[in-house]
Structure 1
Amino acid sequence: MAAIAPRLPGVRQRRKAARPHELLEAALTLFVEKGLAATRAEEVAKLAGVSKGTLYLYYPSKDELFKAVVRAYLTQVIAEGHELVEQFEGNTSDLLHLLAHTWWSRVGASKASGLLVLIMAEARNFPELAQFYVDEVVAPSHALLARVVQRGIDRNEFRPMDVTSVVHALIAPIQFLILYRQCTSVCTANPVPLDPERFMTTQIELLLRGLEVRHPVIPNELPSPNT
Structure 2
Amino acid sequence: MSSKALAERAEDAPPRRGRRKEARPGELLDAALDLFVEKGFAATRSEEVAARAGVSKGTLFLYFPSKEELFKAVVRENISGRFAEWNEEFESFEGSTAEMVRYCLNVWWERIGATRASGITKLIISEARNFPDIAAFYHQEVIQPGMQLVRRILLRGVDRGEFRAVDIEYTIFSVIAPMIFLIMNKHALGACIPQDYPMDPQRYVNAQVEILLHGLCVPEKKA
CA offsets per residue over residues 128-166 of structure 1, 9 Å max, x none?
100111111111100000000001111111111111111
**Is 1:80 paired with 2:91?**
no
Counterpart residue number, 1:223: none
CA distance in 1, matches of 2:211, 2:192: 29
1:97 to 102, 106, 109: 102
Counterpart residue number, 2:152: 147
Are residues 188 and 209 of structure 1, via their aligned partners in 2, closer, same or farther at CA, if it must alter by over 3 Å? Answer: closer
CA distance in 2, matches of 1:90, 1:143: 20
CA offsets per residue over residues 40-78 of structure 1, 9 Å max, x none?
111101111211111111110000000001111110223
Aligned length: 200
1:160 to 159, 162, 165: 165
CA offsets per residue over residues 91-110 of structure 1, 9 Å max, x none?
11111111111111111011
1:136 to 138, 141, 149: 141
1:109 to 111, 114, 117: 114
Are residues 153 and 77 of structure 1, via their aligned partners in 2, closer, same or farther at CA, if it must alter by over 3 Å? Answer: same
Matches within 5 A, 1:1-227: 19-185=24-190, 190-210=195-215
Contact in 2 for aligned 1:77/1:103 (Cα 8 Å): no
TM-score with structure 1 length normalisation?
0.82
Segments of structure 2 that go 5 or more residues without pairing to the other structure are 1-20
CA apart distance, 1:189: 6.2
Contact in 2 for aligned 1:123/1:129 (Cα 8 Å): yes
TM-score with structure 2 length normalisation?
0.83
Name the Cα RMSD after superposition. Answer: 2.2
Counterpart residue number, 2:16: none
CA distance in 1, matches of 2:208, 2:192: 25
CA distance in 2, matches of 1:106, 1:67: 19
CA apart distance, 1:184: 4.8
For the residue of structure 1 that corresponds to 2:188, the secondary structure is helix
CA apart distance, 1:31: 0.4
